[in-house]
Structure 1
Amino acid sequence: MSLPLLDDVRALSPAIRELAPLIEQDRGVPPALIEQLAELGIFRLAAPKELGGLEADPASLVEIFEELGHADGSTGWCAMIAGATSMALAYLDPATAADLLRDPRFLIAGVAAPMGRATPADGGYRVSGRWSFASACHHATALVGGVVTPAGVRLAVLDPADVAILDTWEVAGLRGTGSHDFTADDVLVPAGRTFSLAEPPHHDGPLYAFPALSLLALGIGAVALGIARAAIGDFGALARTKRNPVTGETISTRPAVRAAVAEATALHGSGLAYLLASVRATGSDARRRAALRLAISTATRNAARAVDLVYHAAGGSAVYDASPLQRHFRDVHVATQHAMVSSDVTETAGAVLLGDTTVPTARL
């Protein structure tokens, strides 16, 4: 069902690529582009179909996010965060979820980490906290914040009108994601606007049988791979035009340049193939979940290595602001810093694959 959507994204990609320098400069995706992505349904990709979502399969999510990452890392990242987070609507009270999706500009973002506190109150919770790395928060129609309650961790869906966004996103890469901090101060959140991923979803489609944390994480690898593909393409264009000042030949004739392009292309292709194969093979047992998380981390690392290869092969040309290679280099290395693709997750996956039954697997 999502193939026509992928075609629509591909048709939009050239326009996004043209906007990429401005997106980085303004530290945010333009509202007009957000509107276009909303009209396509990108921000409701993982929401239940019966409520107005697309309920796309995980492999289609990978392909769409990779394409958007290829167009622009920051745009792909915002789309990935919002599209994947829309899975939350399967866990919310159905009436609440349907109400959220009625907004044609629907975009849910936020931070799952339990950086807030929630005190039980009449009809819900009193929520306070500060959450970091809230990508696309300025465009959100709903913001998720992880909270600690007396009964454990839950996720609260906050109205953006009830929070304060703090301009904190001064960073090396993915500058256009607008991943600022936001705060809430004693905000009353109805119980129907809270949920836990440890509880069963209200919808039983195959998408919601997919491991929830993996669904949230897979877009990181996909967007990183898209950035790598863009870097390979941009380097290829450079290599065919940049000339050796001594010989007059283009640098594409150099063996080291050819080897860099070949290895980078293989890293991208193998990372994407491994990720898609793991997504399609995933089950609910710990070993399958571990294998999937390993594929996501590997895709991200492959992407960074691919970008490194072509960035270094470009020489001094890559360091100028006018070169997209320096942006790809910075963007992909910010993606590698996400907690969901950290070495801790890889180590846990390895322990599970080695048969260690003592390691905690909740984060897989």
Structure 2
Amino acid sequence: MEPLESVEPLGHVVAMLLPGIAARGDEIEEARRLPADIAQSLARAGVFNMVRPKSLAGLEMAPLDLVGVLHAIARAEASTGWCAMIGATTAINAAYLPHDVAAEVYADPHSITGGVFAPMGRADDMGDHYKVTGRWQWGSGSANCDWLCGGAMVFKDGELQRFANGAPYHRMMIFPANEVELLDTWHVMGMKGTGSGDIAVRDAIVPKARSVSLIADKPVEQGPLYQFPVFGLLAMGVASVALGNAVGAMDEIKALARAKKPQGGQRTMAERTVVQTDLMRAEAKLSAAEAFFRESIAECWEGATTRGELSPQERAKLRLAATHATETSADVAKTAFTIGGGSAVYMTSSLQRRFRDAHVATQHIATASSVYELVGRVALGLPTDTGML
């Protein structure tokens, strides 16, 4: 991964924040949410503007630069990286909204948006607006957001609407945060500091123009970033956090191996051949997964910048690489935890947190094992619904 300081214009500022964030890992986990001052420092640095269009004072960054920033934050502290990823990628909505509506939602250059794509709500078409009720899980970083969104199935006159292919029609509904109830449901094994509790609304009024379909709508913004597949962008974000967390685990086990002598032993762990072998196998796996991941992003970016579109095969390769990177990262974090031995099981060890965070990342739908089936159908030339690719 390229040095964070080389990512302009925010890399140097973010790099200065990371030691302080890393030092607060225990506090972040105990709070079960990202502290507001950290969220605001990231916002002022421009982290949540990385995907925001330039027309709205955003950075509209190239994907590999986005990856580099998220990777670095997660290397310092995974929950913070996750919240940065959700806030940054949610701003893709700005590229799909009418300009006047986008200007309202993104008026503050330091605003934070978040939410959940999954269509777990109901939106009744009332003519010029929707009346929305719903409850969504995995509302990461919601406590620090100014606007929140949730996917909702659309009904008209009591009848579920459908896309042209017959699938249920759903849209992302965007709400001011003060209209959303935050529910304390985030009692989990890993990524504890993300504050990913449920969010809920009841009979919320959403103007139709303040909703988007990331499947049916076309982006208003025309930059190459917005020709990138939306779900590929999200999967890319998840994988970036997973990879950063795995590198953090490798940093920590190497430091421990240099310093720790097993009970009754005269040599440090670093001097044991089994430790050397297992660490280097993990290093090779992680480096290979990251190389494949970066290669797939570069190919997609070339397609977006030169042709203005991506083939299903390119989109599938990106999803495959992101899923493989996330899965490999969990394996590497497990190796680091295992090498750490008995001391790694204590809550005072960051290795156990790296292990737990890594395995929660694998459960995200964008990089879950079901993706292999989706991309396998594309690779084998079988009929495939590529809308979610």
TM range, normalised to the smaller chain? over 0.9
Deviation string, structure 1 residues 114-147 (Cα, Å, up to 9, x no partner): 0001111242110001100000011111111001
Matched, 1:339 2:365: yes
Q: In 1, are the aligned partners of 2:235 and 2:323 still within 8 Å (CA)?
A: no
Matched, 1:159 2:159: no
Which amino acid in the other structure matches residue 102 of structure 2?
A
Match of 1:322 in 2: 348
Aligned ranges 1:188-337 → 2 under 5 Å: 188-197=205-214, 198-282=216-300, 283=303, 284-337=310-363
Shift of 1:351: 1.8
1:126 aligns with 2:143: no
Q: Is the 8 A contact 1:256 1:313 kept in 2?
A: no
Residues 46 and 110 of structure 2 are in contact (CA less than 8 Å); yes or no, is this contact kept in structure 1? no
CA deviations 1:172-231 (Å, max 9, x no partner) are: 000000001011100100112111112111110000011111112211100000000110
Task: Please state how far the C-alpha of 1:38 moved relative to its aligned partner.
Answer: 0.4
TM-score calculated relative to the size of structure 2: 0.91
1: CA distance, partners of 2:12 / 2:326: 24
Runs of 4 or more above 4 Å deviation: none
RMSD: 1.3
Query: In 2, distance between residues paired with 1:316 and 1:201?
Result: 52
Provide the C-alpha distance between the structure 2 equivalents of 1:129 and 1:171, rounded to a whole number of angstroms: 22
Q: CA deviation at 1:3?
A: 2.8
Do the aligned partners of 1:48 and 1:55 also contact (CA within 8 Å) in 2? Answer: yes
Alignment partner of 1:362: what SS? helix
Contact 2:57/2:109 (CA < 8 Å) preserved in 1? Answer: no
Query: Which residue type is aligned with residue 299 of structure 2?
Result: A
Identity %: 40
Aligned AA (1:341): T
Aligned ranges 1:128-147 → 2 under 5 Å: 128-147=133-152
Q: Output the TM-score relative to the length of structure 1.
A: 0.97
1:170 matches 2:196: no
Please tell me whether residue 359 in structure 1 is matched to residue 359 in structure 2: no
The 2-side partners of 1:2 and 1:55 are apart by 13
Q: Match for residue 113 of structure 1? A: 118
Separation in 2, partners of 1:322, 1:108: 33
CA distance in 2, matches of 1:245, 1:73: 31
Query: Are the equivalent residues in 2 in contact too, given 1:16–1:72 (CA < 8 A)?
Result: yes
What is the total number of aligned residue pairs between the two structures? 363
Contact 1:52–1:98 (8 Å) recurs in 2? no
The residue aligned with 1:49 is: 54
Q: Which moved more, 1:21-30 or 1:118-127?
A: 118-127
Structure 2 alignment gaps of length 5 or more = 1-5, 156-160, 162-168, 304-309
Question: In the alignment, is the contact (CA less than 8 A) between 1:23 and 1:29 conserved in 2?
Answer: yes
1:267 CA displacement: 2.2
Deviations 1:246-275 (A, max 9, x none): 331101111111112212222222222211
